[in-house]
Chains A and B, each alone.
Chain A
């Protein structure tokens, strides 16, 4: 590891801290669908006194954490095909019912990862559109079309340093104008009719630092 990649250079929130920050904004009693990656970490950080019910689109409401070593069941898995558990009060159902929950507007909130989010709320998170890419969409388009509120949690920039928050998505869209809020390592941002409205900066991050790494204007926090 080169010196400039060492941990002392990391500015902003870690993946766990991002997940914890998202959890603070989820209302008590919400039915929540968590995407793959950082969104999965949110379940570890439910704030004291709140209860969320997790939906996984392959047919389970009331999903619990991973099973103890050796106690898993290959027929009890989540959408990422990892073994999970079912909490007291859980229910199983088939795919059309599961997607009726999503497409019928019954799920309150979905937290997804992103390749790009545009200032108008367009989301691209299923394909880079490359000629060699095998297209795979899963349930992402159903979730953004049907769930009442869409949060995105993502690193502010790609590993190569390009902004993921952009003026206009260059990758194929998952859905147009669907994102409500973005949680990154650097900031919390709301999508508004005027664009990216900054809600808060992560500790130690300046407005200029975040703006330089964003592909469209950031509207400053109202004084």
Chain B
């Protein structure tokens, strides 16, 4: 019988190993799986490559993982934003590597990685410093650069509702990178605000089909990053 539910956050992330590549869903705080990230901090894996649009804020969630020294490399589009201090300090000190990727290219690289597409051409970044080192080709009268698909050993994602088969629906703009990262993770781990019996989510409304999901853990009242940052919380 298929049942992707796991009992605890700790067991959900138990096998994430040192040096793993981990995709982390979310755009800013919307969709950030804070509880899964905190479980990963407790678990102790280090030397990670993390793929996320940003680098977290304050000293909770992704920023706390970086602050704990567990992240060797970030692949992201926008590593500095409001209340983001942990990454900039480590980056300036040369203690963390950065691969800067335009946001649409990042999204498409993740989608391609999940869809079995090794590489694709795009016009984004042509004629800018971010084209350096990329193979170029002309289609019609326009130049394009070659970009490679991205996949990950693990993806950590937050959603609104799941069922035991791993079918997911999201909440508003917290959907963002979740569906693509679910496809691109070899092991996709989801925290969900509710888990309902199979059949209760209308199949017409399912956003991520369960085939892309390996584990679902219930986190009924997820914390909000902005509230934690405003309260000055630091994890652990």
Contacts and interface: CB of A to CB of B under 8 A. Distances in A.
A159 interface: no
B194 interface: no
B123 interface: yes
Interface residues of B, number: 52
Interface string A131-162: 01011111111100110000000000000000
Interface stretch (B61-69, B126-134, B195-203): B126-134
Interface string B126-149: 111110000000000000000000
B176 to A, nearest CB: 5
Contacts of A86: 172
Which of A57, A77, A98, A175 neighbours the largest number of chain B CB atoms within 10 Å of its CB? A77
Contacts of B127: 173, 175-177
Nearest to A137: B102
Given A92-B173, A96-B111, A145 B126 contact: yes
Interface stretch (A21-29, A68-76, A189-197): A68-76
Which of A58, A92, A129 neighbours the largest number of chain B CB atoms within 10 Å of its CB? A58
A141 B125 contact: yes
Contacts of A137: 77-78, 100-103, 130
A98 B110 CA distance: 14
The contact size tier of chain A is: 35 or more
B125 A94 contact: no
Contacts of A142: 102-105, 124
A134 B129 CA distance: 14
A99 B82 contact: no
Contacts of B80: 134, 136
A95 B101 CA distance: 14
Interface in B100-120: 100-108, 110-111
B120 to A, nearest CB: 11
A138 B107 CA distance: 11
A96 B175 CA distance: 11
A99 B224 CA distance: 26
A201 interface: no
Contacts of B207: 94
A95 B77 contact: no
B152 interface: no
Contacts of B175: 59, 92-94
A145 B100 contact: no
Contact of B104 (A74, A136, A139, A176): A139
A60 B171 CA distance: 12
Nearest to B115: A96
B130 to A, nearest CB: 7
A94 B177 contact: yes
A74 B29 contact: yes
Interface string A90-129: 0011111011001100000000000000000000000001
Interface of B: 27-31, 77-82, 87-88, 91-92, 98, 100-108, 110-111, 122-130, 170-180, 207, 224-227
5 contacts: A58-B28, A75-B29, A81-B82, A92-B175, A95-B103
Interface of A: 56-60, 73-77, 81, 86, 92-96, 98-99, 102-103, 129, 132, 134-142, 145-146, 172-177
